[in-house]
Amino acid sequence: MLRRSFMTTALAALPTAFVTRRAQAAAATELKVFISKQERPSVMRQAFDEYSARNPAAKVTIEAGPTTSEAQAQYLNTVLSARDSSLDFFLLDVIRPAQFAAAHWAVPLNSAVGDVAALMKQYLPAYAAADQVNGELVALPGFADAMFLYYRKDLLEKYQLTPPKTWTDLTEQAKKVTAGEKDPSLQGLSFQGAPIEGAVCTFLLPYWSAGHDLITNGKLTFNVPAAGQALALWRGFITNGVSPRTIAQATTEDTRQDFQAGKVLFAVCWSYAWALFQGKNSAVVGKVGVAKLPAVTGGTSVSCIGGWQWGVSAFSHHKPQAIALVRFLSSLPISKLLAIKASLLPVFPQIYTDPDVLKVNPWFAAAGPVLASARSRPVTPRYNAVSEIIRTDFNAVMAGTMTGKAAARNMEVRLRRVLG
C-alpha cells in the first residue's frame, strides 16, 4: 500500500509537459514509407526524425525496397492494385505520376496545399510540371536527378585531354587512354545496357541530342532513322572495344561500382553516384570529374531527368498525417539537408548556389544548368508499356541479337500499338 501510494504521489509530481509528451508518444500515429535502398535510408531517417521531433504524434517506419526504378514500380503496383493500406506514403519516380493519377493510387493534393500555382512555382519547372496531371497535383517534389558524364580526371590530365564534347570525341579519347594504360580491366565507357529503366534514358540521349521527340502533345512522333542511328551509336561502343560486350547486362549499380573500383574511364550515371565515389571504399577519391553528356556531331548536349516525388497512398488510413509529412519533406530545408548529407540534387533552384551546399558538393554549381536543360521521359499513363518496348529492344541491340535499324522499326510498330 505504501509503495502504491508512493508511485501515485511520484507520478502526480511529474512535470505536466513530461506527462503530455509521454501521452503523445503513446498515442503516436505510425506512418509507413516505401523508399529505395538507393535513396540513402539513413539520411532519410534524419528527415523523418526531425519531423517527429516537431510532431511527437507522428512516427515513421521505413520499408526499404530494391534499387531499380522498375523493381520499385512493380512492388508499388502490387501493393496499390491490391488496395493495401499498409503503406501511407512513398517515393515515386518522376515518370510515374500520370500512371498513379490514372489508377487513382495517390491522394490528390490540390485542396491540401491551397494555391497550387504559387507552391509549385518554387520548384525546378520540370518537377512542377511532372507532378501535375490534367490539373491534379499528384505528388510533391522530393529530390532531383539527371544523368551526367563521370570521368577519370587524373587520366584525362595525364594524357592532356579535356572532357569530350561529342560522342566521337569520347571514342577517340577512350581508345587513346586505354591503349596507353595497357590495363585490360579498364573500360573506356560504361553505361546501362541491361533492360532496365536506365536503358530508356541511355537510348534517348543521342536521339534527343539530334533534335527529335518521342511523343508530342500525346501523339507518337517517333523518328525511325534517328532511332536507328542512336542505337547504332551505343552498339558501336561495343564493336569498337570502348565498352565491353558484357555491357548488355550492366545495370546502374554495375556502372557505379565499376567506376568506383577504378575500372572505368567514362561513365554515364546518375547523381547519387557522386557521394559514393568519395567514400572510404572508393578507389577514385579525388580523381573524379563531372561534365555534361556529349552530344551527337552537330547536335546539342541533353541529359535525361530523373528524380523522386513524395506521394500519399489513396488507401492509407492516415491521409491527413501523411499529407502533412510529405509537405514537410518537400520543403526547402529538407531539400538542403538531403543535398548536404546525401548529395541528392535539390528541387529548389536557389540551393544550387547555396554556400553551405557548395562547400560539400562543389560540383552542384555545374549540375544546376544540366538540370535546367534536362528533358523528361514521355509523360503518359501508358509509360510502363513504352518503357518496356524501348528497354527490351535497346538491350537486344546491345546483346547483338538485333541490328539498330531492325530494332528502330520494331520500336515504332510496338509504340504505335500502345500510343496510336
Q: Are 343 and 274 in contact (CB under 8 A)?
A: yes
- Return the pLDDT at 67: 66
Same domain, 328 and 292: no
In a domain, 357, yes or no: yes
- Return the pLDDT at 2: 35
Same domain, 195 and 89: no
pLDDT at residue 50 tops 90: yes
Helices (H) and strands (E) in the chain, counts: 20, 12
In a domain, 252, yes or no: yes
Same domain, 233 and 278: yes
pLDDT at residue 83 tops 90: yes
In a domain, 193, yes or no: yes
pLDDT at residue 24 tops 60: no
Same domain, 299 and 264: yes
Residue-range definition of the domain harbouring residue 287: 152-304+380-419
pLDDT at residue 217 tops 90: no
Same domain, 404 and 291: yes
Please state whether beta strands 58-65 and 29-36 pair in parallel, antiparallel, or not at all (unpaired).
parallel
pLDDT at residue 63 tops 70: yes
Same domain, 53 and 86: yes
In a domain, 331, yes or no: yes
In a domain, 123, yes or no: yes
In a domain, 65, yes or no: yes
Q: How confident is the model at residue 5 (pLDDT cuts 50, 70, 90)?
A: very low
In a domain, 8, yes or no: no
User: DSSP alpha helices (H): ranges in 55-124?
Assistant: 69-81, 97-103, 110-113, 116-120
pLDDT at residue 36 tops 90: no
Tell me which of 13 and 253 has the higher pLDDT: 253
In a domain, 15, yes or no: no
Same domain, 246 and 318: no
- Nine-digit cell at 259? 567506376
The SS3 of residue 157 is: helix
Same domain, 396 and 360: no
Same domain, 61 and 157: no
CATH label of the domain that carries residue 253: 3.40.190.10
Same domain, 101 and 124: yes
Q: How confident is the model at residue 329 (pLDDT cuts 50, 70, 90)?
A: very high
Assessment of whether the complete model's pTM goes beyond 0.85: no
- Return the pLDDT at 25: 43
Same domain, 208 and 113: no
How many domains does the chain divide into?
2
Same domain, 281 and 331: no
Q: How confident is the model at residue 9 (pLDDT cuts 50, 70, 90)?
A: very low
